[in-house]
Every structure is written in C-alpha cells, then in structure tokens.
Copies of this chain bind each other. A is one copy, B any other.
C-alpha cells in the first residue's frame, strides 16, 4: 500500500527539468495515496492540489486534465508491474517455476498497490480509457507468460496443449480470481495469509492435471 516510487531519470541534467520531474513524481504518488484511501473513483484534482500544498490550477502545469493523471499512473503501473514480474521470472528456472514465480510476483505487487491494480485490471472508472501507449507493457506481459508456458512444455513439465491461448487464459483467470477475492475481502492481510492467497500455488498446480505431460523422459520430477 506504499506508493510506487520511481526515480524517473531526466534527459537533460538541467536542474529545472529535474525539479519538474520530481513534482510530477510527487503528484503521481499523491494520486495513488488518494485512490488507496478514497477509492479509485475518489481521485480528484483538487485533492491532489490540497495534499501537494498548491492550488488546483497549478496542477495543470504538469497534467492537462484529471484523466491525464489517471493515464500516467496507469502507464507507470503497467511498467513497474511488468518489471516486477520479469525480475521474478528471471530469477527462477524457466518453465513452470518461472511461471509460478511471475504470477506470485504479480499478485504481491497488486496487493501492495491495490488501487493501481484495480485501475489496471478492473476498469472501475468508465470515463477513463487508457491510451495505447499506456497499454503497451501489458502486451509484453502476455508474451512473458506465453514463453513460460512454452518452456514448460519444452521441459516436459506440461503437455503440448499448454502452449496455447487457452492455457494462458486459464492462468489469467486463476490469478484474477485470487487477486479479486484477496483485494475485495482481505486487502490488509499480507500475501500468504488469509483464505485465498495461499491457494495460488495449488491452482497453478492444476495446470499439470489439465495438461498432463507425456510420462516419458520428463525432467526434475519428485
């Protein structure tokens, strides 16, 4: 539930540009705080200004509109979330391990950024439509998961049917289900506690039952 803090590097090392970027970062962090406490729809330009210690018109020097703040936060969320998942997958063995590690990292990140996760994955603000640029990281995200499934098939951990859109959608349903129930019912419990989050590994394990590998020549099975 801490705000995304990201030291955005600034192109020219101009002091003014750096100061400006800091203000933008601060606005986005405040916006996330507001959404976490007031709900995603509770974000307002006026409240951002109030907490930043300026008057509402000043915000327009940094963002064109309230929706622009939503969009910038959405884009940043997608990007940081993607990096968290990528790092977790990279630290695990390719295949099922990487898939499980990535999905757990995704859930942990969503639990730490509940409002951002809702904005990204549940679209509770009808008036907000993310720009294509903001959506870009999510395409890469799908690619990561797809590759992990293919690796699992290549390693003999899953049957060939797992290298498919269907398997991808099944995993997204499982993660979405665990996250949805966790965020709605026990948002303040740490990951691994409560009724739902401990069940993620068991759910991912069902992929093995859904796409059983050929029993011959499989690697690393206990």
Contacts and interface: CB of A to CB of B under 8 A. Distances in A.
Interface of A: 38-42, 118, 121-127, 165-166, 169-170, 172-178, 180-181, 184, 195-196, 199, 202-203, 206, 209-210
A165 B118 CA distance: 27
A93 to B, nearest CB: 24
B39 A184 contact: no
Contacts of A175: 177
B125 A122 contact: no
Among A122, A124, A173, which residue has the most Cβ atoms of chain B within 10 A?
A173
A122 B184 contact: yes
Contact of A177 (B127, B173, B184, B202): B173
A209 to B, nearest CB: 3
A139 to B, nearest CB: 14
A165 B124 contact: no
Nearest to A126: B39
Contacts of A177: 172-178, 180
Contacts of A178: 173, 177
28 contacts: A38-B126, A39-B125, A39-B127, A41-B124, A42-B126, A122-B122, A122-B184, A123-B184, A166-B199, A169-B181, A169-B196, A169-B199, A170-B199, A170-B202, A172-B177, A173-B177, A173-B196, A173-B199, A173-B203, A174-B174, A174-B177, A176-B181, A177-B177, A177-B178, A180-B180, A206-B209, A206-B210, A209-B209
